[in-house]
Amino acid sequence: MPADLQIAIDGPAASGKTTVARLLAQRLGVVYVDTGAMYRALAHAALQTQTDVDNENALVRLFDQQIRVSLDREAQLGFRVFWKEKELGQDELDSPVVTAVVSIVAAHPLVREAMVREQRRIAAEGSVVMAGRDIGTVVLPKASCKIFLTASVAARVQRRRVQLDNSGVDVSAHELTQEIEERDRLDETRKISPLAKASDAHVIDSSTLTADQVVGEICALLG
Ligand code: DC
C-alpha cells in the first residue's frame, strides 16, 4: 500500500458513504473522517451559542476556536469531533435541528475554506478514507481513488428511516423524502463546491447493494 493512500468518497445525503467509508478504512487499517460531521459539529456549536447561521465570519471564528477533530480508529464514530472540550456523539450531530441548518452553514465560502484547510491538514498526516461532498473535487483532487456513491431517493429514505428509528426518532417517509430532496437541491446548487462527481471518480450505485458489497467493489478497484 502506498504511504499516502487517499480515498475520497463523495455522494448525496444518506447514500451510505459514511458506513462504506468507515468499513473500508477498517479493512485497509487506515483512519477515516466523515467531513459531514465537521459541518454538523459547527452547526451544533452555532445553535448552542446562538450564533446566527447567516453570519459567515462568526461561524469561521467558531470553527477555528471551538471545533476540533481527532483521528482515533477506536472512537465510536471512527474519529472524534469536539465542540470546545466536549466530544460530540451521533445524537447531537444527527439531531433534526442540526440537520435543518447544516446546509446553510455549509454554503458559506469562508466556512468551506476553513473546513478544506483542516481536512487537508488531516489528510497530510497519513493514509485516510475521507467521506463528504467535495473530497474528490476540491479537498483531495489528487486522491488515489475517488468514489461517487449514489442511491435512489427511495433507498436513501429507507436507510435514513432505519437509522432514525434506531435512535428512537419517528419520521414519516414523506417527511424524509422532502428533507432529502431539499438537501440535494441545496448541496447541488450552492455556488461554492456544489456536490458533483469528479471527472475521474468511479460511480457506484448502492441502491441494491449492502455496505459490504460496496466495500468489496472499492477494494477490487484498488487492486
Ligand atoms: O453527509 P452529511 O449529511 O452529514 O452532511 C451534512 C451537510 O454538510 C450536508 O448538507 C452537506 C454538507 N457537506 C458539505 O457541504 N461538504 C462536505 N464535504 C460534507 C458535508
DSSP alpha helix (H) spans, the chain? 17-28, 35-48, 56-66, 90-93, 96-106, 109-124, 153-166, 173-189, 211-222
Q: Which residue has the higher pLDDT, 113 or 187?
A: 113
Query: How far apart are the CA of 74 and the centre of ligand 1, in A?
Result: 23
Quote the pLDDT of residue 73. Answer: 85
Q: Which fold has domain 6-222?
A: Rossmann fold (3.40.50)
pLDDT single digits (tens) 146-183: 999 999 999 999 988 888 888 787 889 999 999 899 98
Name all residues whose Cβ lies below 6 A of ligand 1: 13, 35-36, 39-40, 102-103, 106, 132-134, 183, 187
Residue with CA closest to ligand 1 atom 1: 36
- Residue 161 in contact with residue 176, Cβ under 8 Å? yes
> Which cell goes with 16?
451510505
Q: Is the pLDDT of residue 213 over 90?
A: yes
Confidence of residue 97 (pLDDT cuts 50, 70, 90): very high
Instruction: Please compute the mean of the pLDDT values over residues 67-77 and round it to a whole number.
Output: 91
Query: How far apart are the CA of 195 and the centre of ligand 1, in A?
Result: 9
Confidence of residue 190 (pLDDT cuts 50, 70, 90): confident
**pTM attached to this predicted model:** 0.93
Query: How far apart are the CA of 101 and the centre of ligand 1, in A?
Result: 11
- Sheet with 128-132: strands ordered across: 31-34, 128-132, 6-10, 145-150, 202-205
- 90: helix, coil or strand? helix
- Per-domain residue ranges for the chain? 6-222
Q: At what angle do helices 35-48 and 56-66 cross, to 10 degrees?
A: 110
What CA–CA distance (Å, rounded) separates 102 from 107?
Answer: 9
- As to burial, measured by CB atoms within 10 angstroms (0-12 exposed, 13-18 middle, 19+ buried), residue 158 is middle
Query: How far apart are the CA of 2 and the centre of ligand 1, in A?
Result: 28
Residue with CA closest to ligand 1 atom 9: 103
Q: Which of 49-53, 78-82, 185-189 has the lowest mean pLDDT?
A: 185-189
What CA–CA distance (Å, rounded) separates 204 from 190?
Answer: 24
Q: What 8-state DSSP symbol labels residue 88?
A: P
Q: Is the pLDDT of residue 221 over 60?
A: yes
Instruction: Please compute the mean of the pLDDT values over residues 30-41 and round it to a whole number.
Output: 96
Quote the pLDDT of residue 164. Answer: 81
Q: Which residue has the higher pLDDT, 192 or 220?
A: 220
What distances in angstroms separate CA 95 from CA 37, 41, 83, 219, one per listed residue?
Answer: 12, 11, 15, 32
Locate cell 468514489: which residue? 147
